[in-house]
Structure 1
Amino acid sequence: MRTHSLESVEILLTAYLQGTTVAKTPIRVAVTGAAGQIGYSLLFRIASGAMLGEDQPVILQMLEITPALGALKGVAMELEDGAFPLLEEIIQTDDPDVAFGDCGAALLVGAMPRKAGMERSDLLTANGGIFKPQGAALGRSALKDAKILVVGNPANTNSLIALSNAEGLEPGRFTAMTRLDHNRAIAQLSARLHAPVTDIRRMTIWGNHSTTQYPDLFHAEVAGRMAAEMVNDQAWIEGEFIPTVAKRGAAVIEARGFSSAASAANAAIEHIHDWHLGTPEGDWVSMAVPSDGSYGVPEGLMSSFPCVCKDGNYEIVQGLEIDEFSRGRIDASVGELIEERDAVRELGLI
């Protein structure tokens, strides 16, 4: 039976009688690549309460490579100048164990982008050098129930590398971000049907955060009706909708000269927010999580599924019927994930 000290009972009783609430214990939030574009877009929203709740104090633990610590100091100065009521402390470091120390949430943003002429094996090796030691540090230093989101690409496989090296943490503590793809799909459907985004529910991204991903309109709903039936145009779904969502990141780079930052940060905020506080009743979200074998995805593979969240936990939505078209698309994306998994295994990263 749980017991309370006389002092704690007195504090609670006094707060009750005065109509006030006792402040929550701060949650330590680690952000890697914190001085980068996505990190810069993330930190102020975390400090404002947008991610963990408007009454949840936070301690920001920001990790950067040593040459970027000067830029990180400037970010910290701006955070201080924001005078955020929920921001209790700011930690700046180039030591992963310090950044992940007792963290309850970790957003792994920093990664090696693919450069011109770089082979996939080179990209995987470079990111393995980042996410293998970060996974080990998380295993040593993070809370056992930490919520970990990998944002840096290739996100699914980077997350697999990290979890495979995080001794002491359950694989299910690790996720990868497909919420940006999820949001992009909602936006494209909204524009096609001239429907408000608030009318759209149950969007799903299956598979990999790559051009093979499958945004699914056959389970999505618009004002309670199946989205694919409302679109009523398979040629548009195959020829415009899916490629536009899958290649949106490249389109953003071509338009602005930089990769998606604010929209990626927004998606990361929403991913952790819903995991922590729960998904709306009757809706689900897209999360890349370690597969439990659902929908024919090999167990342990980091693949995107429709998920519901409650009480700080997530579950893969079960029982959805998968038609032949969707099956082919899902299998193609999962096949790519299998190839990436096998490649990092050969490289000794998992």
Structure 2
Amino acid sequence: MLHLARVFSSPFSLLLIFSHCVLNPRNFSPIAVSAVMAMDPVRVLVTGAAGQIGYALVPMVARGAMLGPDQPVILHMLDIPPAAEALEGVKMELIDAAFPLLKGVVATTDVVAACTGVNVAVMVGGFPRKEGMERKDVMSKNVSIYKSQASALEKHAAANCKVLVVANPANTNALILKEFAPSIPEKNITCLTRLDHNRALGQISERLKVHVSDVRNVIIWGNHSSTQYPDVSHATVKTQGGEKPARELVANVEWLQGEFIQTVQQRGAAIIKARKLSSALSAASSACDHIRDWVLGTPEGTWVSMGVYSDGSYNVPAGLIYSFPVTCRDGEWSIVQGLTIDEFSRKKLDATAEELTEEKALAYSCLS
């Protein structure tokens, strides 16, 4: 049984008790059950909540897809003043849906009200690049947005708030947020590359005609951009004869080092071309996956991809928000260590790190 002093030490403690007992039935006890029954709601902030991704995400959170089927939530939804009426409509729909886990909704255009007391912050709102805009103009807009929101989170969010940045450029937006929220632990600020990770799983499952749940341990390295490196060097596939390396089953190096990588890198653009709108449903689902695994833990022997603050692992420059393979336990992530990096992969890791270094310099130039 988990130690009670530890049980009540964080906003997610009761959630961790529940998962601990469900995953390990021998840990079951009446004390744990009563703790679960008394779960306090977790406050989840979604910025840009009236937008496409936000509209797809908030019902998933309210239904339990992010924090589990027994964890009550209070949704904090933030958007800009021109979207206030649409945001109110989203709130009405959430009420009308009568989600049993939804214990309250805050819909606001006030960043302070939105950030007050939140345990999880999913930063979906950002300034998209428009036709004719220079890259630095877009970066400058997002630096301003994330500087302001970082300040509000630092002053008003719960002490151990976990932050996921979704809005592009996600890695660099997360870095700016970290810069202006120094009291939030750097391990609590992440960006979304789980969408790319899931896309890579999907491509391998389609190629091999297996269920996506039978594929695991792909990796997304680097930036959430067209320089990202989807890597299957360590991926495995469950077969009737046991787990086998994905590379062995695909048996086509040219496809793995060419079309596969390009398909994952360009998937967002392909969806825009097909829908005339950017990815929303898949982005929202991946955001739930990211937070759920971070809070409840990754399955034994499985890693996922998260954009996290680099500590120099795999010779990636420290000080970047870079996507690594990670495992999660007790609400903390750890970079998977000791993986072999071949020459092809090394070049890919370095190329995406170079782009992130350039983005970082551009973002910091917008601060001066």
Q: Is the 8 A contact 1:140 1:167 kept in 2?
A: no
Q: Distance in 2 between matches of 1:222 and 1:334?
A: 29
Q: Distance in 2 between matches of 1:334 and 1:167?
A: 23
Alignment of 1:310-325 (within 5 A): 310-325=329-344
| CA apart distance, 1:331 | 0.6
Q: Distance in 2 between matches of 1:67 and 1:120?
A: 24
Q: Indicate whether 1:216 and 2:227 are aligned.
A: no
One of 109, 114, 136 as aligned partner of 2:151: 136
Q: Distance in 2 between matches of 1:238 and 1:201?
A: 18
Name the residue aligned to 2:22: none
Deviations, residues 188-243 of structure 1 (Å, cap 9, x unaligned) = 11111112111111111000000000000101111222212222222112221000
One of 119, 125, 140 as aligned partner of 1:110: 125
One of 128, 133, 138 as aligned partner of 1:123: 138
Q: Percent identity?
A: 54
User: Unaligned regions of 5+ residues in structure 1, if any?
Assistant: 3-14
Q: Distance in 2 between matches of 1:271 and 1:102?
A: 21
Amino acid at match of 2:312: G
Q: Is the 8 A contact 1:136 1:167 kept in 2?
A: no
Name the residue aligned to 2:353: 334
Name the residue aligned to 1:172: 187
Amino acid at match of 2:304: V
Name the residue aligned to 1:277: 296
Name the residue aligned to 1:72: 87
Name the residue aligned to 2:39: 24
Name the residue aligned to 2:12: none
Give the secondary structure class of the aligned counterpart of 1:112. coil
Give the secondary structure class of the aligned counterpart of 2:272. helix
Alignment of 1:255-294 (within 5 A): 255-294=274-313
Name the residue aligned to 1:160: 175
Q: Distance in 1 between matches of 2:182 and 2:314?
A: 28
TM-score w.r.t. length of structure 2: 0.89
Q: Distance in 1 between matches of 2:71 and 2:100?
A: 10
Q: Distance in 1 between matches of 2:276 and 2:258?
A: 25
Name the CA shift for 1:202/1:16 in 2 (closer, same or farther; >3 Å): closer
| CA apart distance, 1:177 | 0.2
Runs of 4+, deviation exceeding 6 Å: none
Name the residue aligned to 1:190: 205
| CA apart distance, 1:97 | 1.5
Deviations, residues 167-197 of structure 1 (Å, cap 9, x unaligned) = 3111111100000000100111111111211
Amino acid at match of 2:211: P
Give the secondary structure class of the aligned counterpart of 1:91. strand
